[in-house]
Amino acid sequence: MIDKLKIAVVGLGYVGLSIAATFAKKYNVIGIDIDDKRIEQLLTGIDNANEIEEWELKDLNIEFTTDPARINEAGFIIVAVPTPVDSLNQPDLKALLSASAAVGKHMKKGAVVVFESTVYPGATEEQCIPVLEKNSGLEAGSEFFVGYSPERVQPKNKKQTFTKTKKVVSGQNEAVLDFVASVYGSVVDAGVFKAKSIRVAEAAKVIEDTQQDVNIAFINEVALIFNRLGIDTNDVLETAGTKKSFLKFTPGLVSGRRVGFDSYYLTHKAQEAGYHPEIILAGRRVNDGISSYIARTVVKKLVKNNSAVKGMRVTVLGITYKEDMNELRNSKVLDVIEELQEYGIEVQIADICIDAEEMERRYGLIITPESELLPASAVILAVPHKLYKEAGWKLIEKLLIDKKGLVFDIKSTLDPIEKPENIELWRF
């Protein structure tokens, strides 16, 4: 039965495209996205997110389109659209509800709709299903069916692909759960785990990233303490890490597609239920304050070396949210840059992984090629892409005025033992 299934994937970002590519190896897949440019690129075999290689993309059995009416051809519909937070750190479900409306308007009777977008517990049944019913005129549970399977795609992690990560699945009843499990189980080598309910699956997803957020907040806070005490945090973590039960997290800017966002999704629902979460929100405050702490530290160090901070030049290497990726989503490096500019510092931005024209068009950011960077008083190695790591201190020296000055190694990538004598190193 499922061998002849046609699958529609709504939303072709890094999650949706990975899902579509996996299912396309066994099923006929329709890939749908509202972004005309994204579809044009995919049709020519280009994936700007660099999740799928060009040669692989051209060989996939996926029909890319912006036409939502094609949803009607599919018996199994997967929704994988972004679910960010708004300016008040409240869940922003606009894209999800818009996609739900499009699916409801075009899906056929008997279709199974599975949501992969991260949401707070209850959102699928309280928010998405009513929109599906309203736009389709059909009743959930009898005329169409709903499941939830939270995304677990790790961007650029070739060792942890979609098929090699156990997939959590859920459904609104046992029959739907079994069907959803059989469809995902047919392509996921690591197998599936049947959650007790849709709400359980939603809750499990948000605490995966929230747990990481809280753990990083703890390490960030102890790093703030050790910096005041004049102790190298990395030396402490290396020493504590000799105990097997010690959890190995590192301090730094908490960026990314979900970490941070998910904490706010969980706390939103908690407060709606009348509970004020203490630890999670405290962790958020710590992590949200790290950008400002780094910027202030840069300014203090510059003042100590030279009182004329205004007009001083600082070079930032790497602004993407993760090493060797070309995406800025929720990158906290941008917050560091913005605060430095508020102090009157001239900030040069360099990043070998992003398209300079696209960055200027979408974000108004001027990306300077490495060869055109002017000598600076300080260099912030914010995102240590592979080529930056390989170039090491030779690159850093070249970017400083007279090969001397301040270097801020945010992720502690540079070897302090090999540090040139005329450079002052600070690492978080």
* Domain shared by 148 and 178, yes or no: yes
Of 287, 303, 322, at which residue does a domain stop? 287
Report if residue 45 sits inside a domain.
yes
Element spanning 426, H or E? strand 423-427
Please list, in sequence order, all residues whose beta carbon lies within 8 angstroms of the beta carbon of residue 289, skipping any fewer than 6 positions away. Answer: none
Report if residue 200 sits inside a domain.
no
Length of the chain: 428
Total domains in the fold of the chain: 3
Q: By residue range, what is the domain housing residue 268? A: 206-287
Q: What is the pTM of this model?
A: 0.89
* Domain shared by 331 and 264, yes or no: no
Provide the pLDDT for residue 50.
66
* Domain shared by 232 and 261, yes or no: yes
CB 281 within 8 A of CB 361: no
Reading the block at residue 292, the tokens are 């400002």
* Domain shared by 240 and 166, yes or no: no
Q: Which residues pair with 313 in a beta bridge?
A: 346
Of 248, 270, 287, at which residue does a domain stop? 287
Report if residue 201 sits inside a domain.
no
pLDDT tens for the chain, 428 residues long, are 677 899 999 999 888 999 999 999 999 999 999 999 899 988 888 787 666 766 567 678 899 999 999 999 999 999 999 999 998 999 999 999 999 999 999 999 999 999 999 999 999 999 999 999 999 999 999 999 999 999 986 655 544 467 888 999 999 999 999 999 999 999 999 999 999 999 999 999 999 989 999 999 999 999 999 999 999 999 999 999 999 999 999 999 987 667 778 999 999 999 999 999 999 999 999 999 999 999 999 999 999 887 677 889 999 999 998 898 888 878 899 999 999 999 999 999 999 998 888 788 778 889 999 999 999 999 999 999 999 999 999 999 999 999 999 999 999 999 999 999 999 999 98
**Rounded CA gap, 57 and 155, in Å?**
16
Per residue in 133-190, pLDDT (tens digit) is: 999 999 999 999 999 999 986 655 544 467 888 999 999 999 999 999 999 999 999 9
Provide the pLDDT for residue 257.
64
* Domain shared by 280 and 296, yes or no: no
* Domain shared by 249 and 367, yes or no: no
Report if residue 58 sits inside a domain.
yes
* Domain shared by 317 and 280, yes or no: no
* Domain shared by 237 and 386, yes or no: no
* Domain shared by 58 and 182, yes or no: yes
Q: Which amino acid is at 204?
A: A
* Domain shared by 249 and 110, yes or no: no
Residue 254 CB burial class (10 angstroms; 0-12, 13-18, ≥19): buried
- 77 φ, ψ (degrees, to nearest 5): -120, 125
Alpha-helical segments (H) within 70-197: 94-106, 123, 129-136, 174-185
Strand duo 145-148 + 167-171: pairing: antiparallel
Residue 316: CATH number of its domain? 3.40.50.720
Minimal CA–CA distance to 213: which of 253, 254, 266?
A: 254
Reading the block at residue 394, the tokens are 């030779």
Distances (CA, A) of 262 to 213, 230, 257, 267: 9, 34, 9, 9
Report if residue 73 sits inside a domain.
yes
Residue 265: CATH number of its domain? 1.10.1040.10
* Domain shared by 341 and 376, yes or no: yes
Alpha-carbon Rg of the chain, whole angstroms?
24
Provide the pLDDT for residue 134.
98
Report if residue 37 sits inside a domain.
yes
Of 271, 287, 303, at which residue does a domain stop? 287
* Domain shared by 247 and 169, yes or no: no
